[in-house]
Amino acid sequence: MAHELPPLPYPKEALEPHIDALTMEIHHDRHHKAYVDNLNKAIAGNAALEAKPLDALIKDLASVPDNIRGPVRNNGGGHWNHSFFWKLMAPKAGGAPTGRLADAIKAAFGSFADFQAKFEAAGIGRFGSGWAWLVSNGGKLEIVSTANQDNPLMGKAVAGCEGKPVLGVDVWEHAYYLKYQNKRADYLKAIWNVIDWNAVARNL
Ligand code: MN
């Protein structure tokens, strides 16, 4: 069963003015689609890998043959990361988390503002392309970042970190360059306006 590009859960202009429609269109219709297509190409003809759900595939890259491990890591990670990312944003979102997520953030980082500052720093500090993540490690929240399309689910030996992703933010230039150019910090400030904390809380 081939992997499929999931539709955006809202119209491409829904996150304006924080994330512009053209960025969303290119990001989803071209970048995400390319990860899906290239993942399908990489595993074509390998029945065992074709039968694996995406989560299982990226959690066990060691079982992927050497000659396609790189493409599966990059494109499987890209497909997982973007599918996750779209669902964490919504129009008329933003604000602050509540309930159990708010408590966990306060316990781990002191305050929501301290969490935001540390998360932004993780995104700004990622040299080149990658992601900033909030992960749960045995119930404790941590902020990490990964290079390229790596994902904490790939584990420490591959991604340099581990844990269950709770929030992920794309810091590749393709995620922000049309509107924010080289100002990644401005994009990371703006994205708080469209983070859907109810969706994030469901990942706890
Ligand atoms: Mn991206």
**CA–centroid distance, residue 141 to ligand 1 (Å):** 24
Q: How far is the CA of 190 from the centre of ligand 1 (A)?
A: 16
Q: Where are the domains of the chain?
A: 21-86, 99-203
Q: How far is the CA of 131 from the centre of ligand 1 (A)?
A: 9
Q: What is the pLDDT of residue 28?
A: 98
Q: Inter-axis angle of helices 112-125 and 99-109, to 10 degrees?
A: 70
The CATH H-level (homologous superfamily) assignment of domain 99-203 is Iron/manganese superoxide dismutase, C-terminal domain (3.55.40.20)
Residue 139's pLDDT is 85
CA–centroid distance, residue 165 to ligand 1 (Å): 16
* pLDDT recorded at residue 109: 98
Phi-psi region of 145 (alpha: psi -120 to 50; beta: other; left: phi over 0): beta
Alpha carbon distance 165, 159 (integer Å): 13
| Gap from CA of 107 to ligand 1 centroid (Å) | 30
* pLDDT by residue, tens only, the chain of 204 residues: 699 999 999 999 999 999 999 999 999 999 999 999 999 999 999 999 999 999 999 999 999 999 999 999 999 999 999 999 999 999 999 999 999 999 999 999 999 999 999 999 999 999 999 999 999 998 899 999 999 999 999 999 999 999 999 999 999 999 999 999 999 999 999 999 999 999 999 999
Kindly give the distance from the C-alpha atom of residue 158 to the centroid of ligand 1, in angstroms, as a whole number: 19
- Rounded to an integer, what distance in angstroms lies between the CA atom of residue 26 and that of residue 35? 13
How many alpha carbons lie under 13 Å from residue 85 in its C-beta half-sphere? 24
> pTM of the prediction?
0.97
Q: Is the domain covering 21-86 a CATH 1.10.287.990 domain?
A: yes
Spatial separation of the C-alpha atoms in residues 112 and 161, rounded to whole Å: 23
* Distance from residue 78's CA to the centre of ligand 1 (Å): 7
- Report how far ligand 1's centroid is from the alpha carbon of 149 (Å): 8
**Nearby residues of 120 by Cβ (< 8 Å), 6 or more positions away:** 132, 185, 188, 189
Q: How far is the CA of 42 from the centre of ligand 1 (A)?
A: 19
Distance 170 CA to ligand 1 centre (A): 6
Start-to-end Cα distance in the chain: 29
Ligand 1 centre distance from Cα of residue 88 (Å) = 14
Q: Residue 97 Cα, ligand 1 centroid: separation in angstroms?
A: 24
